[in-house]
C-alpha cells in the first residue's frame, strides 16, 4: 500500500472528475501539505492522478503522455501500450507508483506491476492510502444523495482526510465536461 495520498476519480455520463489531496509524507512526517498530484494530459482531454513515489510518478506521467501523443489521444490503446512498456522494462517494473487515468469515455487504474484495471462499475476508482475510505464514501454518496459528481469527489476526499493519517483536506480537482 502506498502511504502518500488519496486520489479519487468519478466518470459519469456528463462529466469526468478527478481529485486528490495535497499531503506528501516522508516516513511518519508531513513533508508538504499542498502538493498537486493530478493533472490534465493530451491537450486537456485526459485526466490523471498518482499515488506513490513522486519521482516515479513524474516518469509515469511523461510516459503516458508520450504514448497518448503517439496514439492520438486514444486512451484505451494508450493504456494497453503503457502496460506493455511498463511490464517489459526492467527499470519501470521497479517504480513505486500507481495512476488513475480517465477521459469522458474510459476510466483505468494503472498498477505498480503494469496492470491495467477497469473498475467494475466503470464509474469510480481510487488509489493511495486513503483510497478505500474515499471510494466507500463516494459509493454511499452516489447511491444515497443528489450530489453532483464534483461534490461527491470532494466530500469523499474530505472523509478520507478525516480517517487516513496520510491524507489531508487540501483537495485539488480537475474535470472534463
Catalytic residues: 5
First to last CA, the chain: 32
Residue 122 grid cell:
466503470
Nearest to 114 by CA among 76, 88, 132: 88
Q: Decide: helix, strand or coil at residue 114.
A: coil
Phi, psi (degrees; rounded to nearest 5) at 128 = 95, 175
* Pairwise CA distance, residues 174 & 68, whole Å: 19
In eight-state DSSP terms, residue 92 is: G
Contact 170, 12 (CB under 8 A): no
Amino acid at each position: 500500500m502506498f502511504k502518500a495520498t488519496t486520489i479519487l476519480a468519478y466518470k459519469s455520463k456528463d462529466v469526468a472528475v478527478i481529485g486528490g489531496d495535497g499531503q506528501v509524507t516522508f516516513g511518519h512526517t508531513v513533508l508538504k501539505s499542498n502538493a498537486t498530484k493530478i493533472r490534465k494530459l493530451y491537450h486537456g482531454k485526459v485526466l490523471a492522478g498518482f499515488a506513490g513515489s513522486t519521482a516515479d510518478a513524474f516518469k509515469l506521467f511523461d510516459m503516458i503522455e508520450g504514448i497518448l501523443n503517439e496514439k492520438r489521444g486514444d486512451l484505451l490503446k494508450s493504456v494497453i501500450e503503457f502496460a506493455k512498456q511498463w511490464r517489459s522494462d526492467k527499470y519501470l517494473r521497479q517504480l513505486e507508483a500507481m495512476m488513475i487515468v480517465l477521459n469522458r469515455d474510459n476510466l483505468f487504474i494503472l498498477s505498480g506491476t503494469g496492470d491495467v484495471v477497469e473498475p467494475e462499475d466503470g464509474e469510480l476508482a481510487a488509489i493511495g492510502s486513503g483510497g478505500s475510505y474515499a471510494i466507500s464514501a463516494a459509493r454511499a454518496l452516489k447511491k444515497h444523495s443528489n450530489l453532483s459528481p464534483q461534490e461527491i469527489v470532494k466530500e469523499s476526499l474530505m472523509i478520507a482526510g478525516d480517517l487516513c493519517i496520510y491524507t489531508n483536506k487540501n483537495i485539488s480537482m480537475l474535470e472534463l465536461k
